Amino acid sequence: MKKVLFFLALIVLPLAGNAQVAKFKSVFTLSFIRHIGWTESAKQGDFVIGVVRDKEIADWMSKLSAGKKFGFQNVVIKEFKSPEEVVDCQVVYVSSNVNFSKHAATIVSKVNGGSTLIITEAEGACNSGSMINFVVRDDKLKFEIHKGNAAKFGLQISSKLEGMSNAISL
């Protein structure tokens, strides 16, 4: 219960400086993975989170996940300089430094057939294939969920995570 309350408190915090926002997004992303129903194939090998074009987010995730496991899997953070480099990830985090709507087809094709959660930070990204999208509403960091996009990759989003989101698309 304390974890849920902490998570909710983070959601409603007003936005601080860029470093704090990057930290919050990293904390959220690492928390999201515990609220996803993963396929058996996603539970093999290391649990890889790929970050596309955002060194700060990748650095925060690396710090926060150092030495941690997801189940029996080691959490590994990989940085990608472009959407074309994305490969072998359970989570792909696409920063606002990438025009997701322009590169969505490339990213989706790179992870197609895999059980990969796509997390973005761009307005309208759920319409282009994102499953979880960070948004700013009333100067607060929030996120929206697209369950249909997740289901296409065999992923299930828990009701707890749904309850914490700002908007849910089916």
Residue 106, classed as helix, strand or coil, is: helix
Residue 170's pLDDT is 39
Give the chain's residues under pLDDT 50.
1-2, 4-16, 168-170
37-62 pLDDT per residue, tens: 999 888 889 999 999 999 999 999 99
Q: For residues 29 and 121, give the distance between their C-alpha atoms in angstroms, rounded to a whole number.
A: 12
pTM for this model (two decimals) = 0.86
CB count, 10 Å around CB of 124?
12
Burial class (CB in 10 A: 0-12, 13-18, 19+), 94: buried
- The domain containing residue 136 runs over which residues? 2-169
CATH code of 120's domain: 3.40.50.2300
Q: Which residues contact 17 (CB under 8 A, 6 or more apart)?
A: none
What is the layout of strands, in order, in the sheet containing 73-80?
Answer: 69-70, 73-80, 47-52, 91-94, 117-120, 132-137, 140-146, 167-169
Give the pLDDT confidence score for residue 164 in this predicted structure.
Answer: 83
Q: Helix, strand, or coil here: 162?
A: helix
Q: pLDDT at position 113, please?
A: 66
Q: Domain tally for the chain?
A: 1
Q: Specify the pLDDT at position 41.
A: 86
